[in-house]
Amino acid sequence: MNEPLAERVRPKTLEDYISQHHLVGEKGSLTHQIKKGIIPSLILWGPPGTGKTTLAHIIANESDRPFYVLSAISSGVKEVREVIEKAKQSGGLFTAKNPILFIDEIHRFSKSQQDSLLGAVEKGWVTLIGATTENPSFEVIPALLSRCQVYILNPFGKEDLEALLKRAIKEDSLLQAKKIKLKETEALLHLSGGDGRKLLNIFELVIFSEEKDVITVTDELVMSKVQKNTVLYDKTGEQHYDIISAFIKSIRGSDPNGAVYWLARMIEGGEDVKFIARRMLISASEDIGLANPTALVIANTTFQAVTTIGYPEARIILSECAIYLATSAKSNASYMAIKNAQQKVRETGDLSIPLHLRNAPTKLMKDLGYGEDYKYAHDYQNNFVNQEFLPDELSGTSFYTPGKNPREKSIEEFLKNRWKNKYST
């Protein structure tokens, strides 16, 4: 029993393929192409265990093409070129069915490795099928991505996962040697996380850890055999970015419950405490800003504390900060101010600095008018004098608009009292 169950029951035909009906169902976007054998170079993007490798094999079988496989983990440019040369020879010049080159985990290929594929794909020497769990927009070079169609595979639903189990019981010779009754499946489905391969691996572990030949599968039995559910969380992949996005959006949306939940997901997945704290520092400035300047102080203190302490105690500090930020008054006025100013800089370029604002360390500069007419604010009442600090072309422009919160309302009043030309209503 060296070959895993998931490999033993891997579908060989399109009819046996479970799930992904939007791609290979009756009206699927790939179904007609596979039946006709007109296969473009494509990227299959989806979570682990959703049938990417299986679908690539089926496409090759259904279209009756030579099939070459490379793993991005163990292959370099040399191996890529060797396979492309073999593919060119097997395809020949007079066949319409060029070979298929399947690259698993293509997101792990370096830029130079991906570059080595371009010529073969562009000239049609091979049809490339890449499989990735990561967003190809970030992980596949633009030149290669533009030559491929991207198809998204979804996590298996409950019905799909139960169908996988039933087919495994029916078709696998080793499982047929036992009498298996699926009484309960919730634990299996929960532990799998929508990953078909993981589901079958857990199921196999449960069945063959029982010495008896008659087995009734219950949630209690499954949990007794599988001690701990491994959280699906790739610290370098898309889960990493999606979950931190959900975390920050929960803080921005003033939902402490959502913030703590997504924080727990990251903690259980072993996320770097400094990464979490760093993102809360950003949120304190971007989403809270001057509505509550103390938020930045607390976020910075949190970063320093968790860097010193680490897990497991750091989780308490992270939780305290996340809840504080989520329940704080919000303002993105500072964020919008610098965004607006940067946009104006891009539009107007390097505008001349007004002479009165320039530094005049030499006599020549003073003779040229550098610093002339500059008014020293502390020489005037309330330490303020009305003068222009922007280039002449932007005179009177306002980038900062105070937010509608108590703290910034006081700032607005301060600005109105001094800059009536910019902030008067």
Taking the C-alpha atoms of residue 280 and residue 282, their distance in angstroms, rounded to an integer, is: 5
Please report the pLDDT score of residue 233 as a whole number: 58
Question: Tens digit of pLDDT for each residue in 399-421?
Answer: 888 888 888 888 888 888 888 76
C-alpha distances in Å from residue 302, one per residue of 9, 213, 261, 265, 279: 50, 55, 18, 19, 11
Please report the pLDDT score of residue 94 as a whole number: 42
Q: Which CATH architecture has domain 238-326?
A: Up-down Bundle (1.20)
Domain with CATH 1.20.272.10 in the chain: 238-326
Query: How does residue 330 score in pLDDT terms, banded at 50, 70 and 90?
Result: very high
The upper half-sphere exposure of residue 76, i.e. CA atoms within 13 Å in the direction of its Cβ, equals 1
Taking the C-alpha atoms of residue 202 and residue 221, their distance in angstroms, rounded to an integer, is: 12
103 has pLDDT over 60? yes
Domain with CATH 1.10.8.60 in the chain: 158-225
Taking the C-alpha atoms of residue 356 and residue 100, their distance in angstroms, rounded to an integer, is: 69
Residue % of the chain over a pLDDT of 70: 93
Range with the poorest average pLDDT among 70-74, 77-81, 133-137, 274-278:
70-74
- CA 96 to chain CA mean position, Å: 38
Taking the C-alpha atoms of residue 137 and residue 154, their distance in angstroms, rounded to an integer, is: 17
For residue 102, which phi and psi values (nearest 5 degrees)?
-100, 125
Q: Does domain 352-423 have CATH number 3.40.1580?
A: no
Find which of 43-57, 217-231, 367-381 is predicted with most confidence, using mean pLDDT.
43-57
For residue 72, which phi and psi values (nearest 5 degrees)?
-65, -20
Over range 354-366, report the average pLDDT. 80
Q: Which residue carries 């996988």 as its tokens?
A: 164
Domain with CATH 1.10.3710 in the chain: 352-423
Task: Indicate the DSSP class of residue 288.
Answer: I
Rg (CA), the chain: 31
Amino acid at site 182: L
Range with the poorest average pLDDT among 132-141, 288-297, 300-309:
132-141
Over range 359-372, report the average pLDDT. 77
Please report the pLDDT score of residue 423 as a whole number: 65
For residue 71, which phi and psi values (nearest 5 degrees)?
-105, 130
Taking the C-alpha atoms of residue 105 and residue 44, their distance in angstroms, rounded to an integer, is: 10
Over range 324-343, report the average pLDDT. 93
Please report the pLDDT score of residue 349 as a whole number: 82
20-152 sits in which CATH class? alpha beta
Q: With contact defined as beta carbons under 8 Å apart, do 311 and 267 qualify?
A: yes
236 has pLDDT over 70? no
Taking the C-alpha atoms of residue 279 and residue 246, their distance in angstroms, rounded to an integer, is: 12
Query: How does residue 422 score in pLDDT terms, banded at 50, 70 and 90?
Result: low
Q: With contact defined as beta carbons under 8 Å apart, do 333 and 403 qualify?
A: yes
Residue environment code for 206-215, b if the CB has 16+ CB neighbours within 10 A, otherwise e: bbeeeeeeeb
Query: How does residue 92 score in pLDDT terms, banded at 50, 70 and 90?
Result: very low
Please report the pLDDT score of residue 268 as a whole number: 83
Tell me, letter by letter, the H, E, C secondary structure of 313-352. Answer: CHHHHHHHHHHHHHCCCCCCHHHHHHHHHHHHHHHHCCCC
201 has pLDDT over 80? yes
312, burial (CB in 10 Å: exposed 0-12, middle 13-18, buried 19+):
exposed
Taking the C-alpha atoms of residue 281 and residue 278, their distance in angstroms, rounded to an integer, is: 5
Residue, of 260 and 76, whose pLDDT is higher: 260
Domain with CATH 3.40.50.300 in the chain: 20-152
Please report the pLDDT score of residue 257 as a whole number: 94
235 has pLDDT over 60? no
Range with the poorest average pLDDT among 42-51, 62-71, 84-93, 265-274:
84-93
Q: In what order do the strands lie in the sheet with 67-71?
A: 67-71, 100-104, 127-132, 42-45, 149-152
DSSP E strands in 153-297: the ranges are 179-182, 214-217
Give 26-34 contacts, CB < 8 A, sequence gap 24+: 29/151, 30/59, 30/151, 34/58, 34/59, 34/62, 34/63
Average pLDDT value over all residues in the chain: 86
What residue spans of 13-99 are helical by DSSP H?
A: 21-24, 31-36, 52-63, 77-91
Q: What is residue 103's three-state secondary structure? A: strand
What is the dotted CATH code of the domain comprising 158-225?
1.10.8.60
Please report the pLDDT score of residue 229 as a whole number: 47
DSSP E strands in 207-284: the ranges are 214-217
Q: With contact defined as beta carbons under 8 Å apart, do 288 and 328 qualify?
A: yes
Q: Which helix (DSSP H) or strand (DSSP E) does residue 127 occupy?
A: strand 127-132
Question: Tens digit of pLDDT for each residue in 285-304?
Answer: 999 999 999 999 999 999 99
Over range 150-161, report the average pLDDT. 91
Taking the C-alpha atoms of residue 153 and residue 160, their distance in angstroms, rounded to an integer, is: 13
Taking the C-alpha atoms of residue 107 and residue 132, their distance in angstroms, rounded to an integer, is: 6
Please report the pLDDT score of residue 109 as a whole number: 87
Residue, of 141 and 73, whose pLDDT is higher: 141
C-alpha distances in Å from residue 32, one per residue of 35, 39, 353: 5, 10, 64
Q: What is residue 66's three-state secondary structure? A: coil
